[in-house]
Structure 1
Amino acid sequence: MADQHTEDKFAETAWQQSVDLPDFKPLEDDLQTDVVIVGGGITGITAAYLLVQEGVKVALVEAGKLLGGTTGHTTAKVTAQHGLIYDEFIQHLGQTNARLYYEANMEAMDFIRNTIDKHDIDCGFQQQDAYIFATTHKYKRKLEKEAEAYEKLSIDGELTDEIPFNIDIKNALMMKNQAQFHPLKYLAPLVDAIVDKGGLIFENTTAVHVEKGEKPEVITRDGPRVIANHILSCSHFPFYEGTGFYFTRMHAERSYVVAAKPKEPYPGGMYISVDEPTRSLRSTVINGENMILIGGEGHKTGQGVNTLEHYQALESFGEDVLGIDRIMSRWSTQDLTTIDKLPYIGHLTSGSSEQNILVASGYRKWGMTNGTAAALLLKDMVLGNENRYESLFAPSRFYADPSLKHFLKENYDVAKHLVSGKSETSNKEMNSLAKDEGAVVRVDGKRKGAYRDKDGDLHVVDTTCTHVGCEVNWNDGDRTWDCPCHGSRFSYTGEVIEGPAEKPLQKEEYKMIESFMGDRGGY
């Protein structure tokens, strides 16, 4: 199988390889508008699209390229079936709220379908049944409980004993009439519609802070400001937390996807296991070729095994199930889970000084419908319209069970990594790194991070995360430094890729070592 480090095509996802998106200039001057949206994924783009249709002046700023984050790395299942969730929601949130969550996501799916019809968008939208399946007796019983929850909530689904793959399952639970699509082909026409209606879009513009007030201001890293009546934070992790302390109420988890051309025809449907490690399957057509997307291998950011092993495990699974003719691309992604598993959508905090700052985050890897539902809710909140989902998703909510238990658990995990990371040792030396190899090393008794690039140049950073001081770990599959505490990720040169960290890792200079190793054979 192909090696990711030698294949340039693995730098992009299958979605990104098959779509040419327009380029937008960075913000260069101060700007005043009605609404500023931070984040160019499905939530930010959909919210901008909705608001410009209402005659609202909108500016959208994106730190990198549009759709270069989680939306561009999704498996793009458009479904209200989000794993084992409805029985849990009934137990902890009540039957009414569990049903509301289902309806919010089904309405989001209907919005996507209607938008595709309205604009005649060719994005491979297909109705599919969605399945969650169990391979152990423990999870067989959990699926039976989930099926009972479906019945209580009047969800159209049913239990079955088989799925059309060579997988030894105990049972599976189907949710009927769900969907899948090509997310970038769906969103690209919405970007065009935003621009056609006078909306402004700025790429490579990193928002770093907010000045509160009647007309709050988004401050960007390079200086220009955007003054608006409302700020919508749709940037995966809130770029500005106010007094919400979102990093204490969410955890980041990475997962992996392999896009492959199968040897056997795909039988239809979308599938995901409820056992660990997770296995997910769906089909798609990219540039005229039938492919399967094999996903799973989730783990907390910065806490997994060598990341290449996750890809290899998914490839082996795909080979066993359908046979793999060749690997087309592979990628990893990251999403956030809140302490009660409901997204945070709404006012940043309950304080009156931040009522015009809205946030959307914590989709738990189900961003196609949750992100769309968020945009629909944010639009209503900006316009002052009533929305029956506002209290369900309000970031200020707190359910004693499970919120308190998970809050304590997550923050214990953070404390554990904060302490243990400081004491971790490494026997690796910088001068032993091969080209395209990174590792934690010890220099004069201090923990450092080193990566020798493909040209042999050495890049050394301090491994202390600039958020709260945890120690980052090397991610070999993506060539990044990942924080196990709150999911901040940094490039091998130390630049912030995603938050909550705002400042880069401190760079270290070791020119003498680099020069000494310069022409050594094999390095």
Structure 2
Amino acid sequence: MDLQTGKLYWPTTFLDVPSYPPLENDIQCDVLIVGAGGSGALCAYYLSETNLDVVVVDKRKAGYGSTMTNTALIQCLGDKMFFELVNSFGETYAARHLTLCQQAVDELERAANCLHIDVEFQRRDSLYYASVAEDVQKLEKEYTALKKQGYPVVWLNEQQIRSHYPFAKHAALYTTGDGELNPYKLTIGLLEYAKQRGVRIFEETEINGKKLEQHMATCYTKNGHSIQARKVIFAAGYETLEVKQEKKALLVSSYAVITNRVEDFSSWYKRTLIWETARPYVYMRTTADDRIIIGGLDENTAYADDRDAKLMHKKERLIEEFHRLFLDIRVVPEFYLAAFYGGTHDGLPMIGVYDSFPNCYFVYAYGDNGTVYSTVLAQILRDVITEKQNDDFYLYMQTRPKLPQT
């Protein structure tokens, strides 16, 4: 799959990167993880805390798939508003998902503090503003639903927004408890942690065949070697769809720019994460080296040529959208990208379990909060594979109900 194109930023932030060998012989293990990006690394991180023999493989260098275009706004709330999730799944279901996302952000902070690589984790607040006057009513519904759950949210009117930011919007939700990080450093940091605990990692090792039996799975590599495993986790990001197409998942195209370094952020209140109610929307964050990531303007296309043809136009549009908010911060795009971006029809990530793939689990941590969702799903899979009770598993299986039971 042609995942992305452009001038990528994250590889420039991490130069002394550990490498892993390709697989050069037949091996056995308890759990095989296919994919050494963010999702696979989180699965390896949590499974390394068990007594299982775990192997990770990736057809590229570790972290060189969609991790390279992950803009890593670490937020608890998603594209589908919380009140909409309540309408779709019921209040208890939606509230549990929200709690798991909050706990996942805490987990990412905990991991960041124990890894030997500085993953640039920083707690941030978020500003979610109404793009047009007609969206204020939606924000009011969201505010009411979140306050009912005790979520840390504050309503800001136009005057209050003006008091903090150099722009005016009709209304906004101001939330706390989110964050930002470097997804490439996080991925390698998690893999290094897992490696130190016995997990074997192989780069440039492509799986191109499999034999799935009742009690054993055998995966075959492009170089002619085999890996026997009791369980297999397919955590290959959007390329997981090439192994098992899932009708509840969909791919679109997204864009981002990373700017020059900025000297003065005084007009950007607390360097908050900023996003909006418009669809498609624009979002922005700052980086550890004082750049700005501006992303969004998604296009409903899953064709790489069509996606890439729009990149130069989108690059300019994103800079224009930023300058509409911050007239005093003049920036230019030093890095830019076009990439596939996955979502689900109902707004929640998924763990796929299929009769035609015995002993296999498919991680579809799709959506705007992919790193948070991957953290949630990786912990669930650790429990399921070690036969520990985890009722949250059923919240994210692909067979979940479309509507709440009444």
TM-score range for the pair, normalised by the shorter chain length: 0.7 to 0.9
Q: 1:309 is matched with which residue?
A: 313
Q: After the TM superposition, which of the residue ranges 127-136 and 216-225 deviates more from structure 2?
A: 216-225
User: For 2:186 and 2:241, how far apart are their aligned partners in 1?
Assistant: 28
Q: CA deviation at 1:372?
A: 1.0
- Find the aligned partners of 1:234 and 1:53 in 2 and give their Cα distance: 18
- Cα shift at 1:400: 5.2
Is 1:111 the equivalent of 2:107?
A: yes
Q: Is the Cα contact below 8 Å between 2:349 and 2:366 reproduced in 1?
A: yes
Counting only pairs closer than 5 Å after superposition, residues 267-286 of structure 1 correspond to structure 2 as 267=269, 268-286=271-289
Contact 1:207 1:221 in 2 (8 A): yes
The aligned amino acid for 1:58 is V
Identify the match of residue 327 of structure 1 among 328, 333, 336.
Answer: 333
Q: Verify the 8 A CA contact 2:212 2:358 in the aligned structure 1.
A: no
Deviation at 1:151, TM superposition (A): 1.9
The question of 1:211 aligning with 2:216 is answered no
Q: Offset of 1:325 from its aligned partner?
A: 4.1
Q: Choose from 77, 81, 103 the match for 2:77.
A: 81
Q: After superposition, what is the alpha-carbon deviation per residue over 1:437-488, rounded to whole angstroms, capped at 9, x for unaligned?
A: xxxxxxxxxxxxxxxxxxxxxxxxxxxxxxxxxxxxxxxxxxxxxxxxxxxx
Report the TM-score, using the length of structure 2 for normalisation: 0.88
Which amino acid is 1:123 matched to?
A: V
Say whether 1:155 aligns with 2:127.
no
Tell me how far apart the structure 1 counterparts of residues 241 and 153 of structure 2 sit (CA, whole Å). Answer: 40
Q: CA deviation at 1:294?
A: 0.9
Matching residue within 24, 36, 56 for 1:60 = 56
**1:83 & 1:132 partners in 2: Cα distance?**
11
1:393 matched to 2:396:
yes
Query: What is the Cα deviation at residue 34 of structure 1?
Result: 0.9
SS in 1 for 2:291: strand
Take 2:65 and 2:100, find their aligned partners in 1: how far apart are those partners? Answer: 23
Q: Residue 364 of structure 1 aligns to which amino acid in structure 2?
A: G
Cα 1:344–1:306 change in 2 (3 A) is same
Correspondences of 1:192-211 after superposition (within 5 Å): 192-211=192-211
Aligned counterparts of 1:112 and 1:215: Cα–Cα separation in 2: 32
TM-superposed CA distance for 1:72, in Å, is 2.4
Among 344, 348, 351, the alignment partner of 2:353 is 348
5 Å matches for 1:458-497? none
| Contact 1:209–1:239 (8 Å) recurs in 2 | no
Contact 1:208 1:240 in 2 (8 A): no
* Paired amino acid for 2:179: A
Distance 1:245 1:279, change over 3 A: closer
1:411-447 CA distance string (max 9 Å, x none)? xxxxxxxxxxxxxxxxxxxxxxxxxxxxxxxxxxxxx
Q: Which runs of no fewer than 5 residues in structure 1 stay unpaired? A: 1-8, 402-523
Secondary structure of the residue aligned to 2:127 is: strand
Paired letter, 1:51: L
Q: Does structure 2 conserve the Cα–Cα contact (< 8 Å) formed by 1:83 and 1:272?
A: no
Query: Given the superposition, is the C-alpha separation of residues 124 and 245 from structure 1 closer, same or farther in structure 2, using an over 3 Å criterion?
Result: closer
SS in 1 for 2:238: coil
Q: Equivalents in 2 of 1:341, 1:66: separation in Å?
A: 28
The residue matched to 2:287 in structure 1 has which SS? strand
Alignment of 1:111-510 (within 5 A): 111-119=107-115, 121-161=117-157, 162=161, 164-213=164-213, 214-237=215-238, 239=240, 245-246=245-246, 248-260=247-259, 261-262=261-262, 264-265=264-265, 266-267=268-269, 268-286=271-289, 290-300=290-300, 301-302=302-303, 306-322=310-326, 323-345=329-351, 347-349=352-354, 351=355, 354-399=357-402
Q: Secondary structure at the match of 1:128?
A: strand
Separation in 2, partners of 1:27, 1:120? 25
- Is residue 240–residue 362 contact of structure 2 (8 Å, CA) maintained in 1? no
Cα separation, partners in 2 of 1:212 and 1:10, compared to 1, 3 Å: closer
Asked if 2 retains the 8 angstrom alpha-carbon contact of 1:241 and 1:348, the reply is: no
Q: Secondary structure at the match of 1:334?
A: strand
For residues 354 and 240 of structure 1, the distance between their equivalents in structure 2, rounded to whole angstroms, comes to 14
Residues 43-99 of structure 1, C-alpha deviation per residue, up to 9 Å, x if partnerless? Answer: 211111221221211111112121112222112122202134211110010001101
User: 1:213-232: per-residue Cα shift (whole Å, max 9, x none)?
Assistant: 11111233333221101000
Cα distance change, pair 299–273 in 1 and its aligned pair in 2 (3 A):
same
The structural deviation recorded for 1:241 is 7.2
Larger radius of gyration: 1
Counterpart CA distance in 1 for 2:145 and 2:197 is 44
Partner of 1:16: 11
Unaligned segments of structure 2, at least 5 residues: none
Aligned residue identity for 2:11? Q
Quick one: structure 1 residues 371 and 82, their matched pair in 2 at CA, closer, same or farther if it must change by over 3 Å?
A: same
C-alpha separation in 2, matches of 1:168 and 1:283: 20
Secondary structure of 1:68's partner? coil
CA shift in 2, pair 1:116/1:30, >3 Å: same
Task: Report the RMSD for the aligned CA atoms in angstroms.
Answer: 2.4
How far apart are residue 177 of structure 1 and its match?
2.1
Task: Give the Cα separation in 1 of the matches to 2:262 and 2:279.
Answer: 24
- Does the 8 Å CA contact 2:283/2:296 hold for their aligned counterparts? yes
Over the matched positions of the two proteins, sequence identity in percent amounts to 22
Letter in 2 for 1:186: L
Mapped partners of 1:147, 1:121: distance in 2:
37
Change (3 A) 1:51 1:263: closer
What's the CA shift for 1:359? 1.1
1:245 CA displacement: 4.2
CA contact (8 A) 2:41 2:187 kept: yes
How far 1:152 moved relative to its partner? 2.7
**Post-superposition shift, 1:263?**
6.3
Check conservation: 2:79, 2:368, Cα contact below 8 A: no
User: In the aligned structure 2, how far is the partner of 1:24 from the partner of 1:101?
Assistant: 35
1:382 counterpart letter in structure 2: I
Distance in 2 (CA, whole Å) between partners of 1:188 and 1:371 is 15
TM-score by length of 1: 0.69
**Corresponding residue for residue 441 of structure 1:** none
